[in-house]
């Protein structure tokens, strides 16, 4: 109820501050007898890890995950899986400026307004470092989903917009996503994006991004009517990621401009005798329940407010001042958002799969 927990049946609780001794996640509700080892989780953490290119923060977090419970002889036991990542890169440093000043666009002001106390070191609990726990939980969710749905399962995210630059949708290539530091699916724009972001970085500025995530191999029937619609839960899960300001399903906000006959996805019978949709404006969800098509979500990340350019602000004593955020930072936080979006997709889908099993199977 304090907001540090995700999910209903598949659920996890994260804990930890950016510069505390460690951070972690306790994953619960996992079906028993699923093969699981630390390496299954580490591969996804490594994708999210900062410091891999000059376009992400140079903080060198090792992000080495340990499984502390819930796995016995290489298999899940059905009891809570506790994962911990120690913070190895907490330099004892002078936090002077952010200690008392509120960084505009950050949670500094609101945490103080809510709690009357704030762990200002590296953003404390509001740091994007918390997303390591999401990615770890997502890795476990994938393992379970793959047991359930087999090799048809495919969950991938790509960055489709970087500030004012777009991909060409016709050039989309999933293989490309892992081959550049932007999670960009269009090899034709990578060089341009590289120059663009280098400039942004040199100027001490930042830009936003849009991440698009696809999930294939999900059967029809996942989701629940009315308040826990599959798309509603996806919207919440994605909007809960740091810096996200918008979530769209399928065509998203573009549907407002469409006419009904353009937007309705016609249904036919495929060669295998099963229903086939001729288009996917709906993003694989109707009435909050999956159709069996690809589930498509678009997520917009704002540009980080940690800038070398001074921004007017106040301090906690009520004095006006300016702030410049020194140190290691991302010119585009959305880039590291891609693995997190994938993880949240996997977590939402697993949660709804378990819910569906409970009531309908």
Give the x-and-dash track for 15-54 against a copy of itself (CB under 8 A).
xxx--xxxxx-x-xxxxxx---------------------
Q: If DSSP codes are grouped into helix, strand and coil, which group holds residue 160? A: strand
By CB under 8 A, which span of 135-143, 172-180, 183-191, 303-311 interacts with a copy of itself? 303-311
The interface with a copy of itself within residues 214-233 (CB under 8 A) comprises: 220-229, 231-233
CA distance 84 to 65: 6
Interaction between residue 327 and a copy of itself (CB under 8 A):
no
Ramachandran region, residue 208 (left: φ > 0; alpha: ψ -120 to 50; beta: rest):
beta
Which residue in 47, 57, 98, 126 binds a copy of itself (CB under 8 A)?
126
Which residue in 138, 163, 337, 339 binds a copy of itself (CB under 8 A)?
163
Ramachandran region, residue 284 (left: φ > 0; alpha: ψ -120 to 50; beta: rest):
left
CA distance 260 to 255: 9
By CB under 8 A, which span of 47-55, 75-83, 92-100, 179-187 interacts with a copy of itself? 75-83
Q: Which two tokens stand for residue 56?
A: 């992400």
Sign of CA dihedral 100, 101, 103, 106: positive
Interaction between residue 69 and a copy of itself (CB under 8 A):
yes
Interaction between residue 300 and a copy of itself (CB under 8 A):
yes
Q: Which two tokens stand for residue 357?
A: 């099993």
Comparison of 40 and 119: residue with beta carbon closer to a copy of itself: 119
First to last CA, the chain: 29
Interaction between residue 202 and a copy of itself (CB under 8 A):
no
Residues that bind a copy of itself (rule: CB under 8 A) add up to a total of 155
Comparison of 3 and 150: residue with beta carbon closer to a copy of itself: 3
Sign of CA dihedral 124, 324, 211, 46: negative
By CB under 8 A, which span of 46-54, 173-181, 184-192, 242-250 interacts with a copy of itself? 242-250
The interface with a copy of itself within residues 333-352 (CB under 8 A) comprises: 334
Comparison of 175 and 269: residue with beta carbon closer to a copy of itself: 269
Comparison of 74 and 150: residue with beta carbon closer to a copy of itself: 74
Count Cβ atoms within 10 A of the Cβ of residue 308 and give its class: 0-12 exposed, 13-18 middle, 19 or more buried.
Answer: middle
Which is nearest to 8 in space by CA: 29, 34, 31?
29
The interface with a copy of itself within residues 168-187 (CB under 8 A) comprises: none
């Amino acid at each position: 109820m304090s907001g540090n927990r995700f999910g209903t049946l598949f659920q996890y609780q994260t804990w930890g501050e950016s510069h505390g001794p460690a951070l972690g996640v306790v994953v619960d509700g996992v079906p028993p007898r699923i093969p699981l080892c630390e390496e299954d989780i580490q591969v996804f953490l490594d994708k999210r890890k900062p410091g891999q290119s000059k376009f992400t923060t140079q903080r060198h977090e090792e992000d080495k995950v340990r499984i502390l419970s819930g796995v016995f002889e290489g298999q899940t036991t059905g009891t809570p899986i506790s994962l911990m990542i120690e913070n190895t890169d907490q330099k004892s440093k002078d936090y002077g400026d952010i200690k008392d000043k509120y960084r505009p666009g950050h949670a500094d002001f609101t945490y103080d307004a809510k709690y009357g106390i704030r762990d200002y070191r590296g953003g404390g609990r509001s740091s994007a470092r918390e997303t390591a726990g999401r990615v770890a939980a997502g890795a476990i969710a994938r393992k379970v989903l793959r047991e359930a749905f087999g090799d048809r399962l495919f969950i991938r995210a790509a960055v489709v917009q970087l500030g004012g630059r777009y991909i060409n949708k016709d050039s989309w290539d999933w293989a490309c996503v892992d081959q550049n530091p932007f999670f960009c699916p269009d090899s034709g724009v990578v060089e341009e994006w590289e120059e663009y972001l280098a400039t942004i970085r040199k100027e001490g500025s930042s830009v936003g991004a849009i991440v698009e995530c696809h999930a294939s191999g999900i059967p029809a029937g996942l989701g629940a009517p009315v308040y826990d619609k599959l798309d509603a839960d996806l919207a919440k899960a994605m909007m809960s990621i740091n810096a996200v300001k918008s979530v769209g399903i399928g065509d998203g906000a573009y549907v407002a401009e469409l006419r009904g006959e353009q937007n309705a996805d016609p249904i036919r019978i495929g060669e295998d005798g099963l229903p086939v949709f001729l288009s996917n404006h709906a993003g694989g969800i109707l009435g909050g329940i999956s159709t069996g098509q690809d589930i498509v979500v678009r997520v917009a990340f704002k540009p980080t407010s940690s800038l070398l350019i001074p921004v007017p602000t106040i301090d906690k004593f009520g004095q006006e001042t300016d702030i410049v955020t020194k140190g290691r930072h991302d010119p585009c936080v959305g880039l590291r958002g891609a693995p997190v979006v994938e993880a949240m997709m996997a977590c939402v889908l697993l949660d709804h799969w378990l819910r569906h099993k409970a009531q309908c199977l």
